[in-house]
Structure 1
Amino acid sequence: MINKRLIAMVPEVKPFIFKKVVASWVSLLAGIVLWFTVAKTLEQVLEEGAVAQGTGTAFLVAGGCIVIRFFLTRLSAGYTHQAAACVKARLRPAIYDKLRRLGSSYTDRFPTAEAVQLAGEGVEQLETYFGNYLPQFFYAMLAPLTLLIVFLPLSPLTAAVLFLCVPLIPAAIIAVQRVAKRLLRKYWDAYANLGDSFLENIQGLTTLKVYSADQARHKAMNEEAEHFRKVTMKVLTMQLNSVTIMDLVAYGGTALGSILSGRAFLLGQVSFAGAVAMILLASEFFLAMRALGSFFHVAMNGMAASERMFRLLDLTEPEEGGKTLENGPISIQELSFSYDGRKDALSGLECTIPQGGFFAVSGRSGCGKSTLAAVISGAQTHYRGSLQIGGTELREGSAESLRSLITVVSFNSYIFGGSVRSTLLEGRPDADESALQEVLRRVNLLDFVQSQGGLDMPLMERASNLSGGQRQRLALARALLKDSPIYIFDEATSNIDAESEEDIMGVIRSLKGRHTVLVISHRLANVTDADKILYLEHGRLCESGSHNALMRMDGGYAALFRAQQELEHPGGKEGEECEETA
């Protein structure tokens, strides 16, 4: 069970595998010397009836062999740990780098929970494959050959029988391999599905409680857990049965070898010392292969994990150009995009956003606003048509230059646990104290932070110890520190209080002229002062112009604006005044 591709991924582990095999083999040689020395000493004692001359030397040799085996065992364990470290250092970054190259849309093709499981338990299983199974595989080939060479001059029959019994263990392994492979694939499927459900239920626990749907989810998850338990028990049963077979072969072979050694002594074919030595060493014929069988099941589990890892690593990555994207106008020509390849989420969009412009995208839910933001920011790459920034086609630009050029602030921007300082430094690692305080002042968050202990105020995961408005202000402050040429605000004021909404919109408006700003907002009152508003319907650009121009057109935008004003100010004058101004 040698996976060449997997081994090629971790070339650094090969020297440690080789060293561990050599250490195990030298330890076997020391064991051979030890038992022959013990057997010879016993023979001398029996022949002379007392402690024979030279026994002291024999004890020194035996003691030396024991010390050598002890240190070689410790050395072998060290090589195992070093091999495991190499596996972690190579495979976990490979998984992370692949996810990074796939981009934020990787969740459309590979579940997050499964990626976490692969990077965790999956890599742990592969540690055993590299650190124990592979070295034991090669040593298990070498040990019986070495013992065969030792036994042949003493008793050819015993040597031949023991050597021929050894392949029964790998035969048992091969017999269960096909069943084990299929069963372990089911195990990983059940494990990954259970992990996905657990993560989803934890993330949506509040929603489940609100709608009293937690009991139904609890029942469904219990059913998945029971299915996983049954699959796990099948795996353990298969392992136990195969271990039982291997033990029968190992102990039966050892017993047979001991009987044949005793028979050879009785027939005068071998000396007493030779017979005792062969009896003591008979088990060594099988121990190496028996240990290989023990590691086999963990290795098979690792192979099942590696299949999933390769499925992730083999996912096609978004095409990335080598050109450097420079700041400039955003030109969109005949832009179309589809998530599933059948129905277009965007269709035939055409517009130009000048450098330093303040543009807004509006429309009813599902019209394609956030999809357009995702395409411009590079989160979705398989678009049709042309999308140029600064005269360079987006798909021809490098991901690094795109990340430095555009910053996206969404309604659910992720904030890691840590502190306010560490969060802000993600935007600009070299920012000093005064810069951090100034950006907090700009988003009207400085007084609150100072009242909570200053920049080192602790933040829980997702900043759950902040209100929704405070989280958005902090996310905006982090984005401002980055000071990128282009900002995209995708529903950045959604689900927050009115005061925070006004503060955030004030900061966004202040970026006009110095930065290109694209605002996606469901609330049209927030974008009435935009240079141009793009109104989408069913993924198509239906209207564009300033707020006043769109109101005069009295089309879809005007109807949506009036409907929102009526909802916000029923029977009030504010909506009427807006229309009169228009």
Structure 2
Amino acid sequence: MIKSRLLKQLSKSSYYVLWQILLKWTGLIGQIFVIFAAARMLTSGQANSLIKLIAGIVIQVVSLVLYNQASFLASARVKEVLREKIYAKLLRLGNHNPVTPAELTQLTSDGIESVDSYFSRYLSQFAYARLAPITLFAILVKISAPASITLLCLVPLIPIVIMVVMVIAKKILNRYFAIYYHLGDTFLEKMQGMTTLKLYQADQKAEDDLARESEHFRQITMKVLTMQLLSTVIMDLVAYGGASAGILVALRELALGQISKEGTLIIIFLSASYFLPMRQLGAYFHIGMNGMKASDQIFAFLDLPEGKKGQEHLGQDLTLSAKNLTFAYQDSGSPAIQDLSLTLPHPGFYALAGRSGSGKSTLAQLLANRLPSSQVKLGGIPLPEIDPSDLTAAITSVSESFAGSIRDNLLAAKMASDDELIDVLSRVQLWNFLQKRAGLDTVLTTNAANLSGGQRQRLAIARALLKDSQIYIFDEATSNVDLETEADIMAIFQELAKAKTVILITHRLANAALCDRIFFLEKGQITESGTQDELIQKAGAYAQLYQQQAALESYAQLGGKNENEKD
């Protein structure tokens, strides 16, 4: 069970594996010294053999210490190399990574740990299990050829058992990993959506689903453990049975006077050493299988198609456009965007508006190159053909993913001084709140749960402003803020749009009033476009939705006043 590609990818770690093999073999030589010295002392009482015995013990101890050190270095190198490769692959995939967060988490944690164990333990044992019987045979054949030949011939029974188990285990492990990864996906999905599940009283069903999948995983895990236990029992029978056979042959030769007492003791003491390395390899068998399976998963990720990298560099023209744009998600019955065309001159303030499901967020992702399409162009160049660094610098699609402190999140956009960070936080009216905490050192909990929805949005906007791109795409950037803060944020957008392109995706049409042009989407198509006054005068779908929203907001405000009057 040697994977040549894995050895090539981790060639520097292979150096430490060779050292492990050599050190285990040196430890075996030390053991042979000890056994020879002990046998001589027991049969002839020679005191000078004590020095050889002590020397053998020292060799064993030193070899074991150095072996563990080599294992540690191999382990550290494997983790470093694989994580670097996965990270580099993620960067090359960019926005077009098809792997789910749960799969990626399992890949970089359990997957790498399995490959690590394969390298730091299994590989050296695999080689040593073949080297040890040959070494012992070369030494002991001079003492008793029949016993040595018997022991050497019985050793291959353990690999045969391993081969049989491997055939069965491969099918079980394939199912095991499939269920394991699916359970991880389900768990992460349920945990991330727990608030929504509770809101719709669907948390009990989610719990039942998790319990059912966990039980399925428990059952397949027990099958794997049962298989390992049975294989261990069989290998023990072969190992100790084989050692017993060799000992019986040696005792028979002793009875016939063909071997000395010292030689007999040496055969008795070392007979198990023929089998124990191979027996230990059998115990590491599941490590080898897990490591190879994990490496298959890692290589499948590293082999994902990346597409051709863009080579074109952006010029002065930063007009964002799409012509006859059509896009459909996989396994979707109908396109999310159909034959859509628009032009967004730079600079400018634009709104993509529409009801839920109209396609505005999909269009925003296409414009940001989060979804690939050669029909979207920047400065007349299709987005996939533009150099990735130019594209990343030019377009910022605002997201609410956070980790670490406030400072960490802002510095991810730009290396800036504390004064610059405080200034941008003040612009979005977040600094006063943070001053009452730990300021820039305020640590965000998972999913920034210690911030309100509006505060998360303001932090995301602050980070985007700090990056200083030429094109900003804000998706529902004011959906969780009060009216006063919303007005302030819209003023920031309006000021920003004097020199930049600002694209606002919104369902609240009142926010679009300040935009230079509004694109109203229905069923993945732009059905109306123009300023807000022009669209209202048309008395079309936009005007109808605007009036409905205005009536609801007016009613809500009136309800608030009535409640105040009652108080």
TM-score, normalization by structure 2: 0.94
Does residue 495 in structure 1 map to residue 464 in structure 2? Answer: no
Alpha-carbon separation, structure 1, partners of 2:548 and 2:150? 92
- Kindly state the Cα deviation for residue 15 of structure 1 after the two structures are TM-superposed: 0.7
SS at match of 1:528: helix
Kept after mapping to 1: 8 A contact 2:454/2:479: no
- Kindly state the Cα deviation for residue 265 of structure 1 after the two structures are TM-superposed: 1.7
Alpha-carbon separation, structure 2, partners of 1:94 and 1:236? 32
Does residue 376 in structure 1 map to residue 363 in structure 2? Answer: no
**In structure 2, which of residues 271, 279, 297 is the aligned counterpart of residue 308 of structure 1?**
297
Does residue 514 in structure 1 map to residue 505 in structure 2? Answer: no
1:246-290 CA-partner distances (Å, limit 9, x unpaired): 111111111111111121122122222212111111111001101
Cross-structure match for 1:420:
406
Segments of 4+ moved more than 4 angstroms: 570-573
- Kindly state the Cα deviation for residue 95 of structure 1 after the two structures are TM-superposed: 2.8
SS at match of 1:22: helix
**In structure 2, which of residues 138, 148, 159 is the aligned counterpart of residue 159 of structure 1?**
148
Kept after mapping to 1: 8 A contact 2:374/2:383: no
1:272-331 CA-partner distances (Å, limit 9, x unpaired): 221211111111100110111111112112222223223323322244212233452113
Kept after mapping to 1: 8 A contact 2:95/2:369: no
Cross-structure match for 1:34:
34
Structure 2, gaps ≥5 residues long = 559-567
- Kindly state the Cα deviation for residue 571 of structure 1 after the two structures are TM-superposed: 11
**In structure 2, which of residues 497, 513, 519 is the aligned counterpart of residue 528 of structure 1?**
513
SS at match of 1:349: strand
What code does the residue aligned with 2:341 have? E
Distance 1:95 1:508, change over 3 A: same
1:74-118 CA-partner distances (Å, limit 9, x unpaired): 111111111111111122233333334333453xx3332122112
Cross-structure match for 2:562:
none
SS at match of 2:514: coil
Alpha-carbon separation, structure 2, partners of 1:212 and 1:488? 34
Cross-structure match for 2:65:
74
Cross-structure match for 1:545:
530
Deviates more, 1:168-177 or 1:136-145: 136-145
**In structure 2, which of residues 549, 561, 564 is the aligned counterpart of residue 564 of structure 1?**
549
Alpha-carbon separation, structure 1, partners of 2:203 and 2:547? 39
What code does the residue aligned with 2:384 have? R
**In structure 1, which of residues 231, 238, 241 is the aligned counterpart of residue 227 of structure 2?**
238
Following superposition of structure 1 onto structure 2, how do residues 317-356 of structure 1 map, counting pairs within 5 Å?
317-326=306-315, 328-340=318-330, 343-356=334-347
What code does the residue aligned with 1:70 have? V
**In structure 1, which of residues 127, 130, 151 is the aligned counterpart of residue 116 of structure 2?**
127
Kept after mapping to 2: 8 A contact 1:181/1:304: no
Deviates more, 1:432-441 or 1:341-350: 341-350
**In structure 2, which of residues 179, 193, 196 is the aligned counterpart of residue 204 of structure 1?**
193
What code does the residue aligned with 2:141 have? L
Cross-structure match for 1:44:
44
Alpha-carbon separation, structure 2, partners of 1:453 and 1:111? 34
- Kindly state the Cα deviation for residue 199 of structure 1 after the two structures are TM-superposed: 1.5
Kept after mapping to 1: 8 A contact 2:320/2:343: yes
Kept after mapping to 2: 8 A contact 1:322/1:396: yes
Cross-structure match for 2:245:
256
Kept after mapping to 1: 8 A contact 2:374/2:382: no
Equivalenced residues, count: 556
Cross-structure match for 2:356:
365
Deviates more, 1:3-12 or 1:227-236: 3-12
What code does the residue aligned with 2:393 have? S
Kept after mapping to 1: 8 A contact 2:129/2:278: yes
Alpha-carbon separation, structure 2, partners of 1:264 and 1:526? 99
1:410-449 CA-partner distances (Å, limit 9, x unpaired): 5xx1122x332222222222x1122122112211222222
Cross-structure match for 2:268:
279
Alpha-carbon separation, structure 1, partners of 2:440 and 2:260? 83
Cross-structure match for 1:25:
25
Alpha-carbon separation, structure 1, partners of 2:410 and 2:444? 12
1:217-252 CA-partner distances (Å, limit 9, x unpaired): 222211211111111111111101000111111111
Alpha-carbon separation, structure 1, partners of 2:556 and 2:212? 53
- Kindly state the Cα deviation for residue 151 of structure 1 after the two structures are TM-superposed: 2.0
Cross-structure match for 1:92:
83
- Kindly state the Cα deviation for residue 482 of structure 1 after the two structures are TM-superposed: 0.8
Kept after mapping to 1: 8 A contact 2:413/2:466: yes
**In structure 1, which of residues 62, 65, 71 is the aligned counterpart of residue 56 of structure 2?**
65
SS at match of 1:360: strand
SS at match of 1:569: helix
Structure 1, gaps ≥5 residues long = 46-51, 574-582
- Kindly state the Cα deviation for residue 206 of structure 1 after the two structures are TM-superposed: 2.1
**In structure 2, which of residues 397, 410, 413 is the aligned counterpart of residue 408 of structure 1?**
397
What code does the residue aligned with 2:328 have? S
SS at match of 1:407: strand
Alpha-carbon separation, structure 2, partners of 1:572 and 1:253? 89
Following superposition of structure 1 onto structure 2, how do residues 289-308 of structure 1 map, counting pairs within 5 Å?
289-308=278-297
